[in-house]
């Protein structure tokens, strides 16, 4: 079968040609079996006293080496390499899940200790040692982030509208470029900017809630611009043209046709932007500062926020430190719950209102 | 090298959806077999089951047998990777690897299979493959340039060169000319007539004239009814199909009454 | 040249009041962004200037400003670079797992899980790094010192608290992983099916298909994602401030008690207790950080955009 035509066909070593389609291959359940052995070995190491993480890593390495050598002996190098890459890629993924699980578990475990009604109804005024709460910090976080949103949402949305509906030429290119640049501004630099700005008008060492809002706005505006821009671009041009054809002026077209079509996506983007900045610590540390008491006036003096509260409890604990650490973790838990809630809300918004775009 | 393929009672599924039902046919070696039929009748789907590309779609599967010289392609120990190594495929749109040079594109498949090949042998192989694909004269001075710089027709011939460089037993072509201009189409059709002395060729085409020009055997696929699975209506020598088909639907289709 | 007239007023038609107001407002918002950014630069420069001209006895440590910032810049670059070295291969592997290995239904959920990592506030990574991860690293770092001590990175003496540069880089790596993964995953998912099938039809295994079509297609996304991650790591403040034990030494030793701080962490730690010229010095260091991240992010954007052009041309 081969001899007649190989003369004209390209020459190549053809060891497999007699039984071309079947290879010697590992038994069907080879991979799960090896995996099971590796897991049992890992469990053994764990029981022998090795830390969980190290046992898991050793089990993964053991599995990879075992499946590679076995497959190489039976199936050849190509198949073996493929199996090895599969093992590596999968273990790398699991490895990356490890810190996430550890972070979430620790926050819930250590945070739930002080996650009580006192924590939500008391400030730290006059508290030494146990007790006290983050009432002032929770309200402060809401105020600071709320004002930041009030600044960022209009500016961000209008900029996005400019870029999508009006922007042509050099100005639009500059704005697009600098929005990208702004996305990368380190949060601490945003804080220093807000400080430097307010120091011009007030005395040195000034701390106010509104400064924190300004700093957060610098971080939030580019996120709002980006997400709104993406959503506006998804609105089909036919809709705009249909509206123009009815002699609706451009600004009404944008307000009545374009924005309502994209509203779900925009709302989702804004919610995610809020979730992103509500957990910021560094810019608030240098602007809103730290205080133990309730202060709900953003224009007058220091204002506590959850993240800074958590940092402060960790950084300067009392003696013994445990009550402070517990409060720090409880604040972390509160913060993560707020962030998760916002993410959930964002998904709900996009799911509930999305079908409005029937393009 | 060319091998015979025998399909026995093949049902093709996408998850629970039966797309093609009950196909049985024999594909002759060293001949061009054309599959024609209206859109959505499952001829491309069927083609992709011949080298097990079909199962790349999640949950897609087949029932039945596909035998290549008495070896079942869907047998227990059969590795889909080696099936594809022996049954090459050319796609509807030319798809040379954009980051590789013309030379590397042709050598890509061979490099997978035999890592240690002498440079001179590889040069030789690339030259012969490109010559077989009638492309050598046009590209011999720019083998190091990217394949994406070629014209559409040249790219498609490059893909054919790439497919035959690994010496497949069978060559599947899924509407290889539908994205090409008439002159490039002509070049590919000439190439098919050259290649059939060495390979078993199966081509799916929308173009009945093309089937009449290049194929020795023609199979007609059709949907039994709207919502029903597609299937093979009849298969016969091309001449017979286009002059005296035995089935009424075939006659209607080739005379342009539907499709 | 007000751009509002460029498009809406093409035929010289008079603009309606509503249009003029709306166009003006949105243009103004866009310009405001430019003003803000110019303001960031201008205020930082004006507040940093006194530190440059100040006599050295007013600089903390009584050095000149360059000698003050240099160890911080070194620490910033070292920690961010090492975090990148750890995170990039992991990000590529995770992106591959999600795009080409996991079953499709699972892949979507996994995408959410990775995005969840991105949503966790940095203060939480800081707490976790300081109180959970750092103690875990004590024994392994001791082992590194005993067995690999001849490598300068593991010179030791190993820290007894685990608040080392090594721990910081691990925390930073975990923190930048989601952003790197997101960029790379996006590119991998967009690999044209045609190219994947081309390699599979040649008889490529899954890995060979990835090497032939997916990785070349995603190459610049990998570079771009890595550099975005680098930008994040350079500016990360809290995790470093909370984990690292700082001495101001310039050293490559990753496992000892004596570490250079980073610019961002140093600002967070020193700012609340600073006054006068000290504040100007800190702002000057912030300006340096701003410029470094600016350069890195611009490079990252350029690489990512080039990929976009490339794939659009095909």
Question: How confident is the model over A60-82, as a mean pLDDT?
Answer: 88
Chain A residues with CB under 8 Å of a chain B CB are 1-2, 5-6, 8-14, 16, 20-23, 25, 78-79
For C114, name the nearest residue in chain A, comparing CA atoms only.
A97
Q: Would you say B148 and B155 are in contact if contact means Cβ atoms under 8 Å apart?
A: yes
B139-to-A83, B107, B165, B172 alpha-carbon distances in Å: 38, 15, 16, 24
* 3-state SS, residue B20: strand
Distance from CA of B112 to the nearest CA of C (A): 7
Other Cβ atoms less than 10 A from the Cβ of C198: the count is 27
Distance from CA of B258 to the nearest CA of A (A): 32
CATH architecture assigned to A120-352: Orthogonal Bundle (1.10)
DSSP state of C60: G
Question: Is C197 touching B (CB cutoff 8 A)?
Answer: yes
Other Cβ atoms less than 10 A from the Cβ of A29: the count is 10
Question: How confident is the model over B191-220, as a mean pLDDT?
Answer: 92
Question: How confident is the model over C2-29, as a mean pLDDT?
Answer: 67
Q: Would you say C296 and C224 are in contact if contact means Cβ atoms under 8 Å apart?
A: no
pLDDT at C300 (0 to 100): 79
Binary contact (B86, C203; C-beta < 8 A): yes
Q: Which residues of A touch C124 (CB under 8 A)?
A: 103, 107, 279, 332, 335-336
What strand order describes the sheet that includes B71-72?
B71-72, B60-68, B5-14, B17-27, B230-237, B217-223, B32-36, B200-204, B170-174, B87-90
Question: How confident is the model over B109-132, as a mean pLDDT?
Answer: 85
Six token digits for residue A213: 């809002």
pLDDT in tens, A195-247: 988 888 888 888 999 999 999 999 999 999 999 998 998 888 888 888 888 88
Question: Is A44 touching C (CB cutoff 8 A)?
Answer: no
Between these two residues, A280 and C255, which has the higher pLDDT value? A280
Question: How confident is the model over C169-181, as a mean pLDDT?
Answer: 92
pLDDT at A180 (0 to 100): 84
Q: Is the dihedral of CA B125, B129, B135, B136 positive or negative?
A: positive
Torsion region of C244: left, alpha or beta (phi above 0 gives left; psi -120 to 50 gives alpha): beta
Sorted by where each begins, the domain ranges of chain A are 22-111, 120-352
- pTM of the model as a whole: 0.84
pLDDT at C62 (0 to 100): 64
Q: Which residues of A touch C14 (CB under 8 A)?
A: none
Q: Which residues of B touch A86 (CB under 8 A)?
A: none
For C20, name the nearest residue in chain A, comparing CA atoms only.
A251
Which domains can be identified in chain B, with CATH numbers? Answer: 5-99+170-254 (3.40.50.300)
Q: Which residues of A touch C282 (CB under 8 A)?
A: 192
Q: Enumerate the H helices of chain B as residue ranges.
A: 43-49, 80-86, 102-113, 119-132, 136-139, 152-165, 182-195, 208-214, 238-243, 248-254
pLDDT in tens, A155-200: 999 999 999 988 878 899 889 888 888 888 899 999 999 998 888 8
pLDDT in tens, A26-69: 777 888 888 888 888 888 888 888 777 778 888 888 899 998 98
Which of C12, C65, C4, C46 minimizes the C-alpha distance to C29?
A: C4
- Give the span between the Cα atoms of B189 and B213, in whole angstroms: 8
**Bridge pairing between strands B71-72 and B170-174:** unpaired
Homologous superfamily of the C64-310 domain (CATH): MetI-like (1.10.3720.10)
- Residue A16: pLDDT band (50, 70, 90) is very low
Question: Is A244 touching C (CB cutoff 8 A)?
Answer: no
ipTM for the complex shown: 0.85
pLDDT in tens, B125-135: 999 999 988 89
Who among B86, B164, B198 is closest to A21 (CB)?
A: B86
DSSP assignment of B55-85, as one string? GGSTTEEEEEEEEETTEETT-TTB-HHHHHH
Q: Would you say A214 and A151 are in contact if contact means Cβ atoms under 8 Å apart?
A: yes
Query: Of all helices (H) and strands (E), which one includes residue B88?
Result: strand B87-90
CATH 1.10.3720.10 location in chain C: 64-310
Binary contact (C272, A285; C-beta < 8 A): yes
């Amino acid at each position: 079968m081969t001899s007649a035509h190989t003369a004209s066909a390209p020459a190549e070593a053809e060891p497999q040609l007699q039984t071309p389609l079947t290879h010697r291959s590992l038994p069907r359940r080879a991979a799960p079996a090896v995996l099971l052995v590796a897991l049992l070995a890992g469990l053994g190491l764990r029981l022998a006293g090795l830390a969980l993480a190290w046992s898991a890593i050793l089990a993964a390495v053991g599995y990879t080496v075992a499946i590679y050598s076995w497959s190489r002996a039976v199936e050849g190098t190509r198949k073996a390499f493929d199996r090895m890459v599969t093992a590596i890629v999968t273990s790398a993924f699991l490895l990356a899940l490890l810190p996430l699980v550890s972070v979430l578990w620790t926050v819930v475990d250590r945070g739930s200790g002080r996650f009580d009604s006192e924590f939500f109804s008391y400030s730290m005024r006059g508290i030494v040692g146990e007790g006290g709460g983050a009432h002032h910090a929770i309200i402060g976080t809401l105020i600071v982030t709320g004002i930041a949103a009030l600044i960022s949402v209009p500016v961000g949305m209008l900029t996005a509208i400019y870029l999508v509906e009006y922007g042509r030429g050099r100005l639009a290119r500059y704005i697009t470029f600098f929005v990208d640049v702004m996305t990368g501004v380190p949060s601490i630099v945003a804080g220093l900017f807000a400080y430097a700005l307010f120091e011009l008008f007030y005395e040195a060492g000034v701390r106010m809630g509104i400064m924190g809002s300004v700093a957060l706005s610098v971080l939030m505006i580019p996120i709002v611009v980006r997400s709104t821009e993406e959503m506006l671009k998804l609105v089909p041009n036919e809709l705009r043209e249909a509206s123009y054809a009815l002699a609706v002026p451009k600004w009404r077209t944008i307000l009545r046709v374009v924005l309502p079509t994209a509203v779900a996506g925009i709302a989702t983007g804004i919610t995610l932007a809020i979730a992103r900045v509500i957990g910021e610590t560094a810019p608030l540390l240098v602007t809103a500062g730290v205080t133990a008491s309730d202060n709900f006036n953003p224009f007058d003096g220091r204002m506590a926020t959850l993240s800074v509260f958590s940092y402060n409890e960790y950084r300067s604990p009392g003696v013994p430190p445990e009550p402070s650490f517990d409060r720090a973790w409880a604040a972390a838990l509160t913060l993560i719950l707020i962030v998760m809630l916002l993410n959930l809300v964002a998904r709900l918004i996009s799911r509930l209102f999305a079908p409005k775009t029937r393009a | 090298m060319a091998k015979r393929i025998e399909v026995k009672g093949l049902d093709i599924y996408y998850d629970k959806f039966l797309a093609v039902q009950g196909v049985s046919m024999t594909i002759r070696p060293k001949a061009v077999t054309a599959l024609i039929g209206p859109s959505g009748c499952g001829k491309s789907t069927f083609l992709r089951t011949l080298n097990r590309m079909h199962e790349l779609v999640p949950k897609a599967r087949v029932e039945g047998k596909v035998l290549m010289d008495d070896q079942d392609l869907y047998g227990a120990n059969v590795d889909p990777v080696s099936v594809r190594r022996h049954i090459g495929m050319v796609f509807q749109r030319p798809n040379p690897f954009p980051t590789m040079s013309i030379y590397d594109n042709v050598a890509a498949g061979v490099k997978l299979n035999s890592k240690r090949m002498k440079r001179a042998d590889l040069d030789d192989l690339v030259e012969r493959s490109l010559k077989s694909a009638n492309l050598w004269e046009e590209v011999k001075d720019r083998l190091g340039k990217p394949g994406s710089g070629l014209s559409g027709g040249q790219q498609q011939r490059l893909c054919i060169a790439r497919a035959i460089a690994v010496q497949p037993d069978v060559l599947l072509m899924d509407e290889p000319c539908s994205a090409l201009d008439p002159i490039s189409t002509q070049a590919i059709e000439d190439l098919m007539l050259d290649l059939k002395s060495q390979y078993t060729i199966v081509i799916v085409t929308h173009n009945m004239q093309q089937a009449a020009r290049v194929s020795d055997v023609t199979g007609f696929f059709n949907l039994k009814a709207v919502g029903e699975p597609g299937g093979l209506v009849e298969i016969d020598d091309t001449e017979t199909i286009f002059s005296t088909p035995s089935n009424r639907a075939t006659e209607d289709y080739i005379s342009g009454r539907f499709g | 040249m007000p751009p509002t007239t460029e498009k809406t007023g093409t035929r010289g038609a008079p603009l309606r009041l509503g249009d003029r107001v709306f166009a003006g407002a949105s243009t103004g918002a866009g310009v405001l962004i430019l003003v803000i950014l110019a303001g960031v630069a201008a205020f930082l420069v004006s507040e940093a200037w006194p530190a440059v001209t100040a006599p050295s006895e007013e600089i903390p440590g009584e050095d000149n400003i360059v000698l003050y910032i240099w160890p911080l810049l070194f620490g910033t670059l070292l920690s961010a670079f090492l975090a990148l070295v750890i995170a990039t291969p992991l990000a590529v592997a995770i992106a591959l797992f999600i795009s080409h290995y996991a079953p499709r239904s699972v892949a979507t959920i996994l995408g959410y899980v990775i995005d969840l990592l991105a949503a966790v506030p940095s203060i939480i990574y800081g707490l976790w790094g300081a109180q959970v991860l750092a103690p875990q690293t004590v024994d392994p770092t001791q082992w590194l010192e005993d067995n690999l001590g001849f490598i300068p990175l593991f010179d030791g003496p190993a820290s007894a608290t685990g608040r080392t540069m090594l721990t910081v880089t691990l925390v930073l790596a975990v923190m930048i992983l989601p952003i790197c993964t997101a960029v790379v995953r996006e590119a991998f998912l967009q690999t044209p099916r045609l190219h994947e099938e081309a390699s599979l039809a040649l008889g490529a295994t899954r890995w060979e298909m990835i090497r032939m079509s997916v990785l070349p297609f995603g190459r610049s996304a990998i570079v771009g994602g890595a550099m975005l991650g680098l930008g994040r790591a350079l500016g990360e403040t809290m995790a470093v401030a909370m984990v690292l034990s700082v001495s101001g030494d310039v050293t490559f030793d990753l496992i000892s008690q004596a570490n250079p701080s980073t610019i961002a962490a140093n600002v967070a730690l020193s700012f609340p207790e600073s006054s006068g010229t000290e504040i100007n010095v800190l702002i000057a260091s912030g300006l340096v950080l701003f410029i470094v991240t600016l350069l890195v992010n611009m490079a990252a954007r350029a690489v990512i955009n080039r990929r976009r052009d490339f794939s659009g041309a095909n």
